[in-house]
Amino acid sequence: MATQTRTRVRRPARYKVLLHNDDYTPMEFVVSLLETIFGKGPAAATQIMLQIHRGGLGVAGVYVQEIAETKVTAVHQLAEKRGYPLRAGVEKE
């Protein structure tokens, strides 16, 4: 009888995209980023933005690494274009 090799399925690690609070980025800009880059609806986007505004940090979304890093780049590009100091980063879940 043939030897059977069982290979376990590994789910890809997931990464949180974190947004940081600052004093200069307008609230509406953060809400629009959460809608356009992270696919949140207006209510969820507003909630996340306020959580960041009050708590200093918040999770915009959770993705596999490459997608998470692409989202961070998109945030930085849009913020830079407008001259806002918005910071974003990824953290392994």
The least distance separating ligand TYC from the CB of residue 46, rounded to whole angstroms, comes to: 10
Least gap, CB of 66 to ligand TYC (angstroms): 23
Q: Exposure of 78 by Cβ count < 10 A (0-12 exposed, 13-18 middle, 19+ buried)?
A: middle
Q: How many residues bind ligand TYC (CB under 6 A)?
A: 13
Does 25 engage in binding with ligand TYC (CB under 6 A)? yes
Q: Binding string to ligand TYC for residues 31 to 60, with x set by CB under 6 A, is what?
A: ------------------x--xx-------
- Considering the complex, state which of residue 12 and residue 91 has its C-beta at the smaller distance from ligand TYC: 91
* 27 touching ligand TYC, by CB under 6 A: yes
